[in-house]
Amino acid sequence: QKEVEQDPGPLSVPEGAIVSLNCTYSNSAFQYFMWYRQYSRKGPELLMYTYSSGNKEDGRFTAQVDKSSKYISLFIRDSQPSDSATYLCAPRTGRRALTFGSGTRLQVQP
Amino acid sequence: DTAVSQTPKYLVTQMGNDKSIKCEQNLGHDTMYWYKQDSKKFLKIMFSYNNKELIINETVPNRFSPKSPDKAHLNLHINSLELGDSAVYFCASSRDSGTGELFFGEGSRLTVL
């Protein structure tokens, strides 16, 4: 079993939709939960992160962590065509390098 | 002004050749990384340096040799290239080794024929 699992997609939604992107993980030592966004032929960039369980909101984006079920979610409200990208979850402990999921490709149709 | 820059962006070469990829960051960060992204978009850590010292060395063939002449530069040399080395190689940097906020370059796409 991989440490981090993501549905590769693609996930295609109409503009304005609410998007839910999800990850599961197996290592209970993970404490920080990062979300990176990667546009085609570009490097990943940090979108947001949370520490431990709970929610964090940043504009149209909300990150949610449920450590009891080892489940991570990223919600995008009022999705825009510019949100079309691959979204990578990356949980980590305080010491190790990031462990990336394989990413979910999102397409927002105008 | 590019924060993390890699050269070359594209590299097409024959099996058995040796090639290098260079990376420079102008963010003043202490830690630099090499990641490999395969055709399925899986991004895997290869190496990490903190202030020129190797701190992460994942299970990577010893044909891959990183080198950090100073903390702003991290190069990757690959000997005897194989078909399976074809991938996008990303350089990244972070303020220190304890943060998960990485700044990535645009990647170097290596194709081995």
* Average pLDDT over every residue of A75-90: 97
Q: To probe the interface with B, which of A5, A38, A50, A56 has the most B CB atoms within 10 Å?
A: A38
pLDDT band of A1, cuts 50, 70, 90: low
Q: Tell me how far apart the 2 most distant CA atoms of chain B are, in Å.
A: 38
Nearest by CB to residue A46, choosing from B42, B102, B105, is: B102
Min Cα separation B42/chain A (Å): 4
Which residues of B are less than 8 Å from A102 in CB distance?
40-43
Beta strands in chain B (DSSP E): 4-7, 10-13, 19-25, 31-37, 43-50, 53-57, 64-70, 73-78, 87-94, 103-104, 108-112
Q: Which range is most confident: A70-74, B54-58, B95-99?
A: A70-74
Encode pLDDT of A13-36 as tens digits: 999 999 999 999 998 989 899 999
Encode pLDDT of A31-61 as tens digits: 899 999 999 999 999 999 998 888 999 999 9
Min Cα separation A11/chain B (Å): 15
Q: What's the angle, vertex CA B62, arms to CA B102 and CA B83, rounded to 5?
A: 85
Min Cα separation B10/chain A (Å): 11
d(CA A75, CA A84): 14
CB-neighbour burial class of residue A100 (10 A; exposed 0-12, middle 13-18, buried 19+):
buried
